[in-house]
Amino acid sequence: MTQPPSSIMGHTLRRVIFFVLVTLTTLIALGLLVSVFQPDGFSPMELLLLLLYTILFAWICISFWTAFMGFWVLLFGRDRWAISRQSPDTSPDPMAAPPRTAILMPIYNEDSERVFAGLRAIHRSLATTGQLDRFDFFILSDTRDPDVWVEEELRWQDMVRALDGKGRIFYRNRPENTSRKSGNLEDFCTRWGGRYRYMIVLDADSIMQGETLVEMVRLMELHPRVALIQTPPVPVNRESLFARILQFASSLYGRMFTAGLNYWQLGESNYWGHNAIIRIQPFLDYCGLPKLPGREPFGGEILSHDFVEAALLRRAGWEVWLAYDLVGSYEEIPPTLIDYAKRDRRWCQGNLQHLRLAFSKGLNALSRLHFLMGVMSYAASPLWLLFLIATGVEAYLQTQQELVYFFGENWQPVWPVSFAVEMTTVLLVTLTMLFLPKLLALLLLLKDRQLRRAYGGMLGATLSVLLETIFSVLTAPVLMLFQTKFVLAILMRKAVGWPPQQRGDHQTGFTEAVLAHGGHTLIGVVAGVLSYLYVPAFFWWFIPVLLGLGLAIPVSMLSSSMALGRRARQWGLFMTPEETESPTVLRDLEDGLRENEPVLPVLRETPSSRFVQVLIDPYVNALHRSLLPEREPPGKRRRHYLEGLIHQLEEEGPNSLSPTQKRELIAEPETLLRLHALFWSRPPAKMML
């Protein structure tokens, strides 16, 4: 599993260049700020500002130089050390049996129709490669909702029938969802892992082209030292204005960033949890996750398992690559700003836990950096907020100082030194670091006519970048406050309240927007009034932040609009290559969702509740019972408990039971059969449901 010395030296050189650039840029910016503060000594507030600025600027620098290196790679062709370009470590044995690969779709209370439409599209795409027989599909359900559970079973059976997938398309629902997604995958690996050489892990909203899947397996076969190849998933398919802006930004800038990440991370890259291929044996050997000692948020179960698994593989000497140039890997993103923040809430705790893991024994330096970068993607928000507050306070303190022109016996006035040039330079450097990557991404379009057209032409793309920049300036302060709230709540072990969650595409209503952003608006107004009254000079610099907070409610509502998203598309704004010319696999998904013609007659009906249907319908009941795992009959106490639930169901109806209680009833075969029999034994007028 060793690499040739030339490539090791080359890899080291790239990293040296990268970190020298990051360090130098940070030091130069820091030097400018120090030159402003130094003449009259450092106050504690100034020292705090310097510390915060150093951390935040270094964070921006990492991002900037990554983008710049990606720009360089894409400008001058492909990276010669990309995993897709490397010469094979081994020549495949033509006599050996082709490897078998499991495509895994871990799901948890997802929209079943979408999940299975996606899998069918992937299956169809894979069939066109002629290599379908080398892949098996696993739907690994951790679903707890009884209605969704039954729906999944029916959709699975329908997919098997429609695609003649018996013995290739599998489904199981875990009785207990221990350790969530990582436990779900571990369950697969320990039960069926020995049948496959590779697994390709998807997310519920992942879509992958068949050719991409085949290519991932080919690359793994050529490079036996590689344990994991991550593809960059491109966001697609959403129609709201918010999602279309994000899709555009991720697509246009993302390709540059991923090329840049690969440039310096090379075989020490990261795992993002899905749309990746994993060699099963090293995963079994080295990726069993322990429970961390201590309480949450830093102890307990490892929540964001992907980074940890990549780090453990690296610790064991395996390579982890980001195949930035592999296309045909897609995902879907939250449709509104509020949904986006909700997703952040889920991810935040897992990423903060990485702070502890970054200082674990035996890890590679880059693995530690991955952990810290994960932490910084959330910790940056409270740090920015602190920086803004500290800047405001410092500006206020400056206004309180009376200027003294004459010192001691000196008869000549000492004019105050202006640091406007230095301060402006600091600001310009920061803004350049933030916004130049957008310009670089746009410049790359000049190189490729086809790509230019795919992004809506040079004019459309330029206008889109401009509008996206304004939009990101407006939403950044809102996300900063959201993330700050999440970080503080997690550190204080407090739950964060949310309005009830809505699934699928939807528009943010006024009440939802006010509940989510009312506090932001209030903070914006108060901060605006205070800064205007007490630090008027600071107020004008503060305007972008204040505007973002003040307009949070209308921006959140308007950007959730699908009509506006479609209108922008008609105007050629925020176009992505996948929108301009939709790949077959995405068209298949769309057609599948639109046509939705199930083979099973029972799926053509839309019952009020699949839970009730599984009790009544002999077919649904039998299918569900046939899929329940074999286990010991319940003990006496358990039987009494289930008996009580049956009586409750008979007397008060299904709505009186919680989803957990419903699940308990249908998870036990004898109870389920008994309920089925009870239903059919009643005269129609006395039927219990």
Partner 1 sequence: MNTLRSSLATPFGPPLLERLQAYWMALGVSDPNLALALSEQTLRRLPDFPEEGEIAARAIIAAGELLDDWLAAALGLPRPSPALTAARAALLSGIVPEWPAALFAPPGAAGIALERLRAAIAEPTPAPSPGSMPAQRIEPLWKRS
Catalog residues that contact partner 1 under the rule CB under 8 A.
136, 156-157, 160-161, 166-167, 170-172, 186, 189-195, 280-281, 283-292, 308, 312, 356-357, 359-361, 600-602, 617-619, 622-623, 625-627, 630, 673-674, 676-678, 680-683
What's the min distance (Å) between Cβ of 169 and partner 1? 9
> Cα–Cα distance between 97 and 327 in angstroms, integer?
27
- Count of CB atoms within 10 A of residue 582's CB? 16
Q: Which two tokens stand for residue 287?
A: 């990726």
CB of 120 to partner 1, least distance (A): 17
Distance CA 171, CA 627 (A): 9
How far is 472 from 548, CA to CA, in rounded Å?
A: 9
Q: Which is nearer to partner 1, 167 or 635 (CB)?
A: 167
Least spacing, CB of residue 625 vs partner 1, in Å = 5
Closest distance to partner 1 from the beta carbon of 572 (Å)? 48
Q: Are the C-beta atoms of residues 287 and 320 closer than 8 Å to each other? A: no
Q: Which is nearer to partner 1, 563 or 673 (CB)?
A: 673
Minimum CB separation of residue 213 from partner 1 in Å reads 19
Work out how close the CB of 685 gets to partner 1 at its nearest, in angstroms, rounded to a whole number.
11
Nearest to 17 by CA among 29, 7, 28, 25: 25
Residue 353 to residue 347: CA distance in whole angstroms: 10
Min. distance of Cβ 353 from partner 1 in angstroms?
A: 11
Q: Which is nearer to partner 1, 284 or 473 (CB)?
A: 284
Which one, 153 or 215, has the nearer CB to partner 1? 153
Residue 16 to residues 23, 28, 304, 311: CA-CA distances in angstroms? Answer: 10, 18, 29, 21
Taking the C-alpha atoms of residue 102 and residue 169, their distance in angstroms, rounded to an integer, is 10
- Exposure of 184 in the CB half-sphere (CA atoms within 13 A): 24
Q: Does residue 330 come out as left (phi exceeding 0), alpha (psi in the -120 to 50 range) or beta?
A: beta
Q: What is the rounded CA–CA span in Å between residue 535 and residue 323?
A: 50
Smallest distance, partner 1 to C-beta of residue 162, A: 12
* C-beta of 359 vs 571, nearer to partner 1: 359
Minimum CB separation of residue 316 from partner 1 in Å reads 9
Pair 278, 227: CB distance under 8 Å: yes
341-345-349 Cα angle (round to 5): 150
Q: State in angstroms the smallest separation of the CB of 623 from partner 1.
A: 4
CB of 619 to partner 1, least distance (A): 4
Helix (H, G, I), strand (E, B) or coil at 212: helix
The CA-atom distances, in angstroms, between 368 and each of 227, 382, 385, 459 are 19, 21, 25, 42
* Shortest separation between residue 101's beta carbon and partner 1, angstroms: 14
Closest to partner 1 by CB, 281 or 609: 281
Q: In terms of CB distance, is 181 or 676 closer to partner 1?
A: 676
User: In the complex with partner 1, which residue's Cβ is closer, 500 or 601?
Assistant: 601
Question: Quick check: 257 and 66 in contact, CB under 8 A?
Answer: yes
Contact 382, 488 (CB under 8 A): yes
Strand 135-141 with 169-173, pairing = parallel
255 or 676: CB nearest partner 1: 676
What distances in angstroms separate CA 11 from CA 5, 8, 82, 459, one per listed residue?
10, 5, 11, 38
Residues 6+ apart with CB under 8 A from 124: 210, 585, 588
Q: How far is the CB of 82 from partner 1 (least distance, A)?
A: 29
Residues with Cβ within 8 Å of residue 297, at least 6 apart in sequence: 349, 352, 353, 490, 491, 493
| Cβ-based nearer residue to partner 1, 39 or 601 | 601
For 199, the 3-state DSSP assignment is strand
Q: Which is nearer to partner 1, 246 or 642 (CB)?
A: 642
Residue whose CB is less far from partner 1, 57 or 156 = 156
State the nearest-atom distance from the C-beta of 152 to partner 1, in Å.
11
Query: Virtual CA dihedral for 310, 314, 318, 320, nearest 10 degrees?
Result: 50
For residues 160 and 433, which CB has a smaller minimum distance to partner 1 in the complex?
Answer: 160
Nearer to partner 1, 153 or 211 (CB): 153
φ/ψ of residue 406, rounded to 5 = -120, 125
Contacts (Cβ under 8 Å, ≥6 apart) of 618: 676
